[in-house]
Amino acid sequence: MPLHRRSNKEDYNNTRQSLSNKFGNEEKSQLHQPNRLSNWRRPSNFLGWIALQVVLLLFIATKVKSKTLFHLTIILLTAWVSFFPAFLILGVGIGIFDGKADLPHQKFIPLAVVATIIGNQLPTFLSSGMAASGMLIFGLASRPMPQKEDVKGEVKQDTQKRGMFHGPLGAVLAVLLLTAVLLTENFFIWVVSATYEPGQNLSKLPTPLQDNGQLILRYFFDSVLGLTKRDIVAVRNMVNVEWILVSGMGLSLVATEIQGTAMRRNLWSLALRGLFTMAIARSIRTISFLITVLPSQNPRCYFSHFPTPPKDWFSWLMVGFIPQANGGCNDLIISGHATVTSTLACVVTSVVGKPLFTTALWMFVAFDYMVEIYEGFHYSVDMWLGAILVNFIWTVLAPLEKPTNQEHGIAAKKFYPINETSQPDLLKYAIPVVGSYLQVNGIIPAGVANYTILVFVFSAIYQISTSGFQHYTQHCLFCLLYVALGIYL
């Protein structure tokens, strides 16, 4: 059975039994007990869940100006389909679909996803501020206490069995690899657009390729539903699938760090697998759009993205180092947007491990892709291949996540209480968080974002070379990931 489909509850029971045999009551008491949510599974709560959907549809019906009952019915059905994934995730979070015990993260990650949708209605500086605050709190709350080694040296043996690349070192190397891949891709986005001469001459610009997927979507949204582009984009922005995935991924990392023993998952192995998936997918993307150039669907794309190609090589390189956060013009196949969101979806769904949650989250991702195709930012094949490729790579890389050897179990980690944080520690952990927040919100100019990323990279390298890998290094790497996602997502 693939690792990412392993039963969380089965793993919990096996690991708990292993720890019972290997360690005393002290370690056993540190395991997070499953939350039994029987009080949420009463029929009244299920009826309340249904009633909430009915109220939402009635509210929408009062806002829709429809001339026929058929058109109103189509609008309400579409609205229900659009919002149903959120209700499905909410149902998973409160446990009304499963009568068995859930591990804590299987409850709070779905609930956090719903909370993120609500938070998306706030201004960007507030929603991203919530994410930054979460990183700071997690950084302070996950400071590890010194771990006692078992008298037989079993903790050390388990670490050796994992191998050196299944710890922080492997994840750091993966971060450096992904950074190099993204910077290289960023440069070649400029190269392929600047060397595609028809894109800079409207009289020579070829007709965009026929996209049957886009034609179907435009017919459905425009003719059947009678919606405008502004309406569709407004719904997409309201849901904001990208930030749903980012918040879900962040909480998945938190859960793996704190509950990794019970889940039989390792934070660094999970990070290694996700980062390698992204790096391989983005490398394939770069090679793909370089060897076959597709015409942009936007005839004035080049003039809105790039300057006139400079004559000297130094200026050429400098333009190529400007972050192309909004993409290029001919870097179409495969979609970079699809590679990022699909990787995040794979990480989050594998940690939660509940089929209904997986279905609902991918419904949101599919809706996001449909809007991307409808707007003409990508061909349908770009999004399709991006999702398929990432899922394939993610599955192939499953061996990178080695489960904890049950014969050499390790005790649950202990962390310093957050209320014992000193002022120097608070300032130390706040500095990278504030820097990443200023960059993501554009207070630091977007044109220097790649330089900000390099500052984080070199800072991590310096810390590792002088003091070894420390918890503060992990904190800085999380801030680096926040900047990269905030800029390129």
Highest mean pLDDT among 94-98, 325-329, 365-369 belongs to: 365-369
- Is the bond preceding 118 in cis, omega lying within 30 degrees of 0? no
Q: How far apart are CA 352 and CA 112, in angstroms?
A: 12
Last residue of a domain, one of 100, 133, 149: 100
Indicate if the pLDDT at residue 475 is higher than 80.
yes
More confident: 8 or 124:
124
| pLDDT given at position 188 | 94
Kindly state the tokens that stand for 458: 């070199």
Last residue of a domain, one of 85, 100, 115: 100
pLDDT interval class at 270 (50, 70, 90) = very high
pLDDT in tens, 417-469: 888 899 999 999 999 999 999 998 888 888 788 888 889 989 988 998 898 88
| Pair (365, 268) in one structural domain | yes
| Pair (256, 154) in one structural domain | yes
| pLDDT given at position 187 | 93
| Pair (389, 445) in one structural domain | yes
| Pair (182, 59) in one structural domain | no
Last residue of a domain, one of 100, 117, 145: 100
| pLDDT given at position 161 | 46
| Pair (188, 240) in one structural domain | yes
Amino acid making up residue 174: A
| Pair (401, 431) in one structural domain | yes
pLDDT interval class at 489 (50, 70, 90) = low
Q: How far apart are CA 295 and CA 207, in angstroms?
A: 8
135 in Cβ contact with 142 (< 8 Å)? no
**Is 115 a domain residue?**
no
pLDDT interval class at 209 (50, 70, 90) = very high
Ranking 196-200, 407-411, 415-419 by mean pLDDT, the lowest is 407-411
**Is 399 a domain residue?**
yes
pLDDT interval class at 2 (50, 70, 90) = very low
| Pair (94, 186) in one structural domain | no
Ranking 56-65, 128-137, 204-213, 350-359 by mean pLDDT, the lowest is 56-65
pTM across the whole model: 0.80
| pLDDT given at position 218 | 94
| Pair (27, 76) in one structural domain | no
What mean pLDDT do residues 306-332 have?
86
| pLDDT given at position 101 | 63
More confident: 257 or 423:
423
| pLDDT given at position 150 | 45
Q: How far apart are CA 212 and CA 345, in angstroms?
A: 26
More confident: 274 or 137:
274
| Pair (60, 144) in one structural domain | no
Ranking 159-163, 208-212, 380-384, 454-458 by mean pLDDT, the lowest is 159-163
Indicate if the pLDDT at residue 249 is higher than 70.
yes
What mean pLDDT do residues 220-247 have?
85
Ranking 156-160, 222-226, 289-293 by mean pLDDT, the lowest is 156-160
**Is 380 a domain residue?**
yes
**Is 367 a domain residue?**
yes
Indicate if the pLDDT at residue 156 is higher than 60.
no
Instruction: Output the 3-class SS for the chain.
Output: CCHHHCCHHHHHHHHHHHHHHHCCHHHHHCCCCCECCHHHCCHHHHHHHHHHHHHHHHHHHHHCCCCCHHHHHHHHHHHHHHHHHHHHHHHHHHCCCCCCCECCHHHHHHHHHHHHHHHCCCCHHHHHHHHHHHHHHHHHHCCECCCCCCCCCHHHHHHHHHCHHHCHHHHHHHHHHHHHHHHHHHHHHHHHHHCCHHHHCCCCCCCCCCCHHHHHHHHHHHHHCCCCHHHHHHHHHHHCHHHHHHHHHHHHHHHHHHHHHHHCCCHHHHHHHHHHHHHHHHHHHHHHHHHCCCCCCCCCHHHHHCCCCCCCHHHHHHHHCCCCCCCCCCCCCCCHHHHHHHHHHHHHHHHHCCHHHHHHHHHHHHHHHHHHHHHCCCCHHHHHHHHHHHHHHHHHCHHHCCCCCHHHCCCCCCECCHHHCCHHHHHHHHHHHHHHHHHHCCCCCHHHHHHHHHHHHHHHHHHHHHHCCCHHHHHHHHHHHHHHHHHHC
| Pair (394, 257) in one structural domain | yes
**Is 394 a domain residue?**
yes
**Is 65 a domain residue?**
yes
**Is 221 a domain residue?**
yes
Range of the domain at 298: 3-32+125-488
Indicate if the pLDDT at residue 274 is higher than 80.
yes
| pLDDT given at position 144 | 86
Percent with pLDDT over 90 in the chain = 31
Average pLDDT, the chain: 81
| pLDDT given at position 401 | 87
Percent with pLDDT over 70 in the chain = 84
| pLDDT given at position 381 | 95
More confident: 369 or 132:
369
**Is 118 a domain residue?**
no
Residue written as tokens 């292993």?
Answer: 18
| Pair (306, 342) in one structural domain | yes
Domain count across the chain? 2
| Pair (273, 400) in one structural domain | yes
What mean pLDDT do residues 309-336 have?
87
What mean pLDDT do residues 263-267 have?
85
| pLDDT given at position 39 | 46
What mean pLDDT do residues 307-311 have?
88
| pLDDT given at position 3 | 36
